[in-house]
A and B are shown apart, each in its own frame.
Chain A
Amino acid sequence: MCPRVQSSFLSISRSRPVILSRSSEGYYVELGPSVQWVQIDLGRPCSLNAVLIWHYHSQARVYRDVIVQVTDDPDFITDVQTIYNNDHDNSAGLGIGKDKEYIETNEGRLIDPRGVNGRYIRLYSRGNTSNEMNHYVEVEVYGALSK
C-alpha cells in the first residue's frame, strides 16, 4: 500500500503525493511557522496499532502542540479521534491535551492508537524549541485493514 501525504503548507503540494522513506535519513520535510499539519491517506480504513514519529533527530529539541488525529473523513470534520495531544495550553486551538511534551531523539516517538479505526491520519505541530518551523523526518503507521 502506498500512502498519500498531504500537508497544510504550500511547499508540499496537496496534489502530489510525497513518500516518506527510511532511506531519506538526514533529510526532512520543512513546514512553515505556526500550526501546521501533514496528513496520511492509508488508502483504506485500517485498525491502527502504532504510530511512530520522527520530527527531527540531529538535535535535542521539543516540538510544540504535537497532536495526532484519526478519521475516515479526509477533511477531518466528522468522527475525528485524537490519539495524542500534548498541547497543554490549547495554543493550537484543538483542545487541551494531557500527553506530555517530549524531547526528540533518534528513536522517534511511539504513539499507541489503541486500535482506533480510520483511513486518514493527521499530525499537527506548532514550531519547536529551536525555531518556528515544523519538520518531519519520518512517520510510520502500523495496523491492519479493517474488516
Chain B
Amino acid sequence: MKRTPAFYGLFSLVVLAALLFRVSGLELRPMHHDEANQAVKFGSLLEEGQYCYDPTQHHGPSLYYLTLPFAWIGSGTSFASLNEVILRLVPAVFGAGIILLLLLLKDGFSPPSLFFSGILAAVSPVMVYYSRFYIQETLLVFFLFGAIASGWRYLQERRWGWAAAAGFFSGMMFATKETCIILFAAAAVSLVLVRVLGGSPRSRENPGSKEKNAGRIPPVHLLVLAGTAIAVSILFFSSFFQNPRGILDSVLAFKTYFGRAAGAGFHTHPFPYYLKMLAFSHYGNGPVWSEALVLILALVGCAAVFANHSQSMSERLFLRFIFFFTVLATAIYSFIPYKTPWNILPFYIGIILLAGQGIVFLLSLSRKIIVQSLIILILGAGLYHLGLQSYRANFTYSTDPRNPYVYAQTSPDFIYLVQRVEDIARLHPEHKQMLIKVITHPDEAWPLPWYLRGFGKVGYWQEVEEAGPFSDVPLIISSTDKVDRLQLHLRDNYQSEYYGLRPEVLLALHIRKDLWDKFIDERTLK
C-alpha cells in the first residue's frame, strides 16, 4: 500500500468511521460529574466572557476556549440552551482528528502501518469512549500527537514552521492539562535513549550532508519552538491577558497535582490497573472486555522495532522513539497511585502505533497467500470484536458499572429526578424561577448545577441548619443522610422520593405537598 489516491480514500473512510462512532448518540449517557463541572466552568466563559484559571482544579483552559466556536454555532451564547451533544462534539472531533494527524507521520511509518493504526484508533473501545467525554484527555492526546508529528516533520525537513508547529502543540498540551509534564519527560528521555542507542537520522543517512541537514538543530529553531510553546500557554493561562495571575498559577499548580498524585484516596489503584483493564475486564454477569489484541500486536510491533531491518534508518529511529516513549509513559502513569481510566489515553495512542507496526510486521513474515489470508482473517475477527465492544461500551453499557470504562458515572436514574423537577416547575406559578434548595455533601451536588442550569433560584448548602427556613420551599434536594434532620422541618408537608446519583449514592427529592397533589391530579386526568 503506497500513498496513492486509493490509500487516501481508504484512510478517509477510517476517519469518517471514527467520527461517526464518536458523534452518534452523544446525548445517551447522562453527564458525568466531571463533565458537568467542566461544562459549568465553560458556561461562565460563554455567557460572561470570563475565565480565570484555577490551579487547584479543572485543569487547563484550552477545553473551554475550544468549545466556544462549537457553542456559538450550536446554541448561541446562552448557557441554558447549551446541551450535552454540543459539548461532547469537542472531544469527539479532536478524537477523530488524532487519526487524521497520523498522516503527518509519513516517512516515520509505512502507509499500511498508518492505515492499521488508524483503524485500531477508530474502533478501540477506550479511545472511542473517552472521545465522547467532555474532559481534557482527548484534546491532550491530540496535541501530544501533533507535537510528536510536528517534531518528526521538523527533523525530516528542518523548517522553522514545523518547529513552530511543535511548539504550538506543546503549548496547547500544557494549556490542556498540567500533567502533560509526564509526557514531556517521557519524550525527552526517549529522545536521549534514541540518540544514545542509534544516533540522529540525518547524520546516519547523510553523513556527508551540509550544515542544514546535519544532526545539530539550529538554536534559532529551538528558540522558535520554545517561544511558541511559552507564548501559547501564556495566552491561554492569562485568559488572553485578562488574568495575568493565571501565568504564575499555571506553575504553582504543580504543587497541587504532585500532592494529588501521591495521596490519591478514592482514585488510588495498583500498578497494573491500566494494563489489566485493557487486557481483561469482567464484572458480574456482564460481557468480557478486552483490548488484548492491540496489546499483543503492540508487543509484535516492539519486536519489529528492533528486529526488522527493512526500514530506513530514519524510520527505525522514529519507531524506537515511539517504543521508548510508550514504555516510559505507560510505566510512569502506572507508577503514580492516582489513577483514572481516562489517563490510559496518552500512552495508549503509542501502543496503537506499535500495534499498527506489528500488523505490518506479521504480514511481512510470509509471502504465502494462505498465511497472509489467515492473518488477515484473524485480524478481521479481532477488529470486529473491538468494534463490537466499542458499540457495547458506548451504547449498550455506557452507564453500566460492568463496563470497565464507566467510572463513578451518573446513573440514568438521576435523569428521572431532573424530569420530576421539570414537571413540578411546570406546575409552579413561578415555573423555573421557583426556589430549589440543594443540601448535599459537595461531591453529591454534581452534576446538579449542569442539569438545573435553566433554573433561576437554586441554592446549595452542605448542612440542613445552614439552609434557612423551609416553609414554602417548593423543592428540596438532599443527601440521604440528611433526610432525618430535614424531616424535623418538613414533617408531613412534603412528598419524598429517592433517586440514584451514582453507584452507592442516592439523592432524596422532597416536593411540597400542594405541588405534589397538583402533579398527581394532572397525571390522573391524563
Contacts and interface: CB of A to CB of B under 8 A. Distances in A.
Contact of A130 (B497, B503, B520, B523): B503
A61 B520 contact: no
A61 B500 contact: yes
B411 A129 contact: yes
A62 B411 contact: no
Interface size class of A (residues with CB under 8 A): 10 to 19
Contacts of B495: 88
B520 A59 contact: no
Contact of A90 (B411, B496, B520): B520
A111 interface: no
B523 A101 contact: no
A43 to B, nearest CB: 33
A71 B506 CA distance: 34
Interface in B502-524: 503-506, 519-520, 523-524
A126 to B, nearest CB: 12
B500 A129 contact: yes
B411 A130 contact: yes
Contact of B480 (A96, A100, A103): A103
Contact of A60 (B400, B413, B506, B520): B506
Contacts, number: 39
Given A89-B523, A129-B413, A130-B413, A101 B503 contact: no
A101 B496 contact: yes
B499 interface: yes
Contacts of B400: 131
Given A96-B520, A129-B506, A130-B411, A103 B500 contact: no
Interface in B473-498: 480, 495-498
B413 A101 contact: no
Interface residues of B, number: 18
Interface string A57-90: 0011110000000000000000000000000111
Q: Is the interface of A mostly helix, strand, loop or mixed?
A: loop
B506 A103 contact: yes
Contacts of A88: 495, 497
Interface in A104-130: 128-130
Contacts of B519: 89
Contact of B498 (A59, A90, A96, A129): A129
Nearest to A61: B500
A103 B496 CA distance: 13
List the 7 closest pairs (A to B, CB-CB), nearest first. A129-B500, A62-B498, A129-B413, A101-B498, A130-B500, A60-B504, A129-B506
Given A101-B498, A131-B400, 18 more contacts: A59-B503, A61-B500, A62-B498, A62-B500, A88-B495, A89-B519, A89-B520, A90-B520, A100-B496, A101-B496, A101-B497, A103-B480, A103-B506, A128-B500, A129-B498, A129-B499, A129-B500, A130-B500
Interface of B: 400, 411, 413, 480, 495-500, 503-506, 519-520, 523-524
24 contacts: A59-B504, A60-B480, A60-B506, A61-B506, A62-B498, A62-B506, A88-B495, A89-B520, A90-B523, A90-B524, A96-B520, A100-B496, A101-B496, A101-B497, A101-B498, A103-B480, A129-B411, A129-B498, A129-B499, A129-B500, A129-B506, A130-B500, A130-B503, A131-B400
